[in-house]
Structure 1
């Protein structure tokens, strides 16, 4: 079959009866050097100059370049060569890069096609133009290992997802998302659709949980099966409460404790299953009997250690989609981030530990990883979105006691029940409240050095504190008991090398303002421990923008006055107020009364300090953490 040579899209091609064929450079050279005709792809061809007399052949080669770009969330791949100050597009035909080009009637061999072709084959790139985000990420990873591509993607442009037809419309959330939360939700929905995984890295206090609940509600709409949330023990109940509050149609189950289900099909009856890292490690084979639609890691820095059991088990979960949620994506080493990337993108980072050896654990390595991370993570800090936030952000943190704590708490309840139920004083419940601050306060453990190992509530306090310290900010912690002051001061210096200041009833009046002045003037992360009665009025402590009420007070005005030490005129930052309390204990009853805005001290206590409100007594004695 006779054919003829033509120019097509800057390339030499052969026009055949059934279409156009792009020969390789070696085919073209053979046709030119042959004394007669040659057969190329079944066609008899002569020299290209016979059909294109003006065509010249250069003895010099040219070099292929490939640009990666993004516009309106459409990713593109553009191979080209540069000649005479201009760009000339190179096409792919049936997945193969054409290895020659014609520029201004001069033919050039493209010398470096093979190295790009190898990558394109692995990533399944078959044509120039539009590529998927997943393909872009794989190409970007290759670029780290061997720089080939011009990556001109502005990762932050991915945050500008279209508002029209937002998946948030009609979702039915019992909340109005702040503008930045709406962006975060829409970005995560886009990333899950495109790549099946991402990182929500917003700073503490910006409502990451609500954004995730919006995603879980969206997933429920598609009926894709149950979601799994893995969180520290201290946050399990908070997840349930937040789901009930913001998306009551979500059916939730806490899978934790000795009474947890042993039948995997039970999970299929729920929209969201919530478990702890430790429970997952124990139940991984059982929980892998289904494939989860989406797995959420809360406080995902828990898997930063490649070799830890929890990291290994979390990455082994069968799942379709993954989100890592953390306010501190980078803590100490490059490997911290790579471990998160391996969780959210296992098909790309299938051996992040090996990959970490390719990057220096310093600023240069950090810059390389940051370039990749910016595509897969959305992170906002308070200073960036402060105009969206209210001046005071209140965060309730309900916490579930461990089994050991629950058993001891119940024993105190039983002691009270054995007494005179007609003359129960506030003081008789003091042991309950003190125990809720920390078991060490009522019964020191001589062989236990880390107070986090004994109290879930204290563990949550330290998690919050770590985030505050990482941000270089200051915090006020209000607690009522001297022994808790002592425990915190000793532990904080061991844990963070920070000497906490304190103001309580024994602090001389003339010293209190000096302590406050030094605290406000410091430019470092600082901790100030305060008794709400001794330091709840008169002091201006606007140097702190975090307030933690570690144990709640009967009198709501006492708490309000304590919060006002930071949230007052002169405060230049958004103030975050945390209330930590144990569910199904006397602390939850206090919290409920605070929500009702009742001054419990006026309502239930007589001058003799005796509680005559039998309904309240019964409520306290029958609220058991089991």
Structure 2
């Protein structure tokens, strides 16, 4: 106001100095100022002092100061500002910062000029009491008794803490902005009903309904409560109209567990307020609902729990018809499979490569085959291995290979003790025929073959009918969560809910936000149905495995050839290198965003150029057959092989390029070194002969194409493995290496990787390091290139 401006002008920024002889006049004037502003003074006025204001006599009254703490909560952006004040003259007086300012204060309240003497020590003491009762404030920066609570959860936590000292503070809200926090003490206010869903096909699903009684005036439907919990990760759930429900940590954990098990998506009836519970999740659910206030269940729920408890107590004995001495961990694996089969579960046996998954599967097959036929689906390269292993260890089984003749007649004639082995290719071709049989056991070997739900192969597998479904895979299965959902959709349909709900509950939080808590919930849900043991855990007697990277120094000609190819690749892709060096959105020369304009087409072009560079790293002749440029990698290979043979070692040699293997074959023929050979074009019977010959000592080296020989082979005659070129995913290389490092191996195994220095191969090996955490996860990609963006692929070509 004008009065305030006049006072400011008179006092000025330097203050106003008055002779001591005029102190009474100054104090009188100061007393008059209190009629329109709060005055802080180091000197108290005599209560009897009278000054004249507007020609009238006005007595300044002395009052006792109040030290009551007031807290203002004012909305600010997404959060709130909390400010702490005192009102020395009472509720209608001016706001002052507690413990700060002068002791003597004068102000006009309700037309009466007042003076009081504040107790600053007491005010500071009360501030400390509030801060002690609100430890959350200590986590927020304080500025002059003010705190900016930028996160809603922080503000609500403070409010909850303030509720414990409501007798010591007064909370003030802007009109219409008040927030109420209702505290839930325990789950005993939760009421649940669990019933079998009538008419559910196959396994009996259950419906859970219920409600949470917060207080006498507010009851929340269980499905709504779950939806709120899924949308809000903290312990405060918004109820609307400024109301929040504060959950205890224990109850929040229970809701999260409910959320990971119960599927709230109902396709048939959007008004359905029930949550669907998979029967195989009933034991986990039973643990969660213990100790709630009121629980009603039907006989079907009790029967399901009883079935699971019986299975847990089951102690099955390995069938006497299995002609093998199982190791302890293999016996445990068989018992685990048998228990799951007893209560209607499916299983994923994900032991390390070489730990005898086939043998454990044969044990459960022998147990169940007396009830009807068995189906085994495997990669073409592994089908004969199943026949051989079964004939050796389970001679009572009638093994059949689905071939080119009389398929329908063979399949329809199958009965007890009959086991049909087929490839994934024939599964797809004969999907309708195979789906018409009720199989006792269905085994999908190397089950990552059905990871993509959109393929006809996967759809053919999903159409199969089996009482017990078993996946065997040495490749761990996690992180690529859409694929994990598909694998579980085969062994236990519905356990992970619909793909839509799975994506919302698990995939997005884990893949996009790296939510470790959600990851743990998913692992907890699938843990009963996955068994994975590493060699280090169960095979103390297995000899050590050493991995060594051998750096290949390219000669000058070779290096120049590679660099020219790299530059040509960039030119072919019309990429401006400088744009890729900047931390901004990358553009290609024709103006579109990489990976968006022409999308997959452009990515395919990049991959084609990368393939040329990878071939050039192996041998220039793979790119330019007529060149005379010497291959440094082949020279290093020659030295390694010479040393191995001199010391009477045998080695497996892997390359992903058949052309590279052909060059190596020519080299070995010239050197008169005996070897065996296998690639994707090798007929099945010839494969068997090659493997048997090598295991019998015929040949010092075994040349194998990585994708054709990485699965299902037992090649323990070798104690060295040489990878001539790196594959995208280290898990694929590990599978190949484990052809030698497996049960039956008695010598230490050494694995060499030949990597060309300063090339794209080094960058691929760095990718290996980034993907190593997949090795002990639950799902790994076999084609990492399909998961990289165009920008990331371009970085493999660009010079760094």
Q: TM-score, normalised by structure 1?
A: 0.44
- Max radius of gyration: which structure? 2
Q: TM-score, normalised by structure 2?
A: 0.36
Higher relative contact order (CA 8 A, sep 6+): 1
